[in-house]
Amino acid sequence: MADNMLLQVEGLSFAYPDCGVFAHWSMALPAGLALVRGDESSGKTTLLRLLAGELRPQAGQITLQGQSASGAPQAYAQQVFWADPRSGELDPLTARGWLGSLPARYPLWDAAALATHTEGFTLQEHLDKPFYALSTGSKRKVLMAGALASGAPLTLIDEPVGGLDKPSVAYLARALTQVAAKPGRVVVVAHYEALPGVPWGTVVDLPG
């Protein structure tokens, strides 16, 4: 594969006990914005969880900037941002507390970017609420503010517009556009359609 590919997935196979999802599937992504597009139950979230190292493939190789997810799981994980919007794992934490824990984990953390995203997503009034008290949209906005500010070489965002109001969707498009120009970083967004106004560098259609 070409040297400019930041993320390489080769021969990926994964199945749940009752259904297969990927069979010898490959893709390669350069730096920039990538859209993983597919219908409901096409494997979008499963792919993000595999890329995050949360699920282990039954076969194949995932490599990020030369680090293998299976061969060097810790080094690989340090380069990845993933927060599942459907998980209740963060429920007891406040938004501010969780965001405050991220700089220690992500060496390329951008505090100025977080301030911009907090304002852009109008999150100020929600920062001291625990996650369980946030609406679906507010929780997603907090997670995406952290994701975008993380600077992680591989940043994974699932179903970004669930519960978002129109101004927040418009802000997200602007924020993604800014991230698209950053070298050395691939932001993978899983959604069933392309968000308008976003300069997708790569679109990966899942077979469903």
Give the pLDDT score at 208. Answer: 64
Give the Cα separation of 140 and 103 in Å (integer).
19
pLDDT in tens, 138-188: 999 999 999 999 999 999 999 999 899 999 999 999 999 999 888 899 999
Give the pLDDT score at 41. Answer: 80
Enter the tokens of residue 56.
Answer: 């282990």
Enter the tokens of residue 134.
Answer: 């946030």
Give the pLDDT score at 1. Answer: 42
Rounded to a whole number of angstroms, the distance between the first and last alpha carbons of the chain is: 25
pLDDT in tens, 6-16: 999 999 999 99
Give the Cα separation of 73 and 125 in Å (integer).
37
Sorted by where each begins, the domain ranges of the chain are 5-205
CATH says 5-205 is which class?
A: alpha beta
Low-confidence ranges of the chain (pLDDT < 50): 1
Give the pLDDT score at 181. Answer: 85
Report field, pTM of the whole predicted structure over 0.85: yes
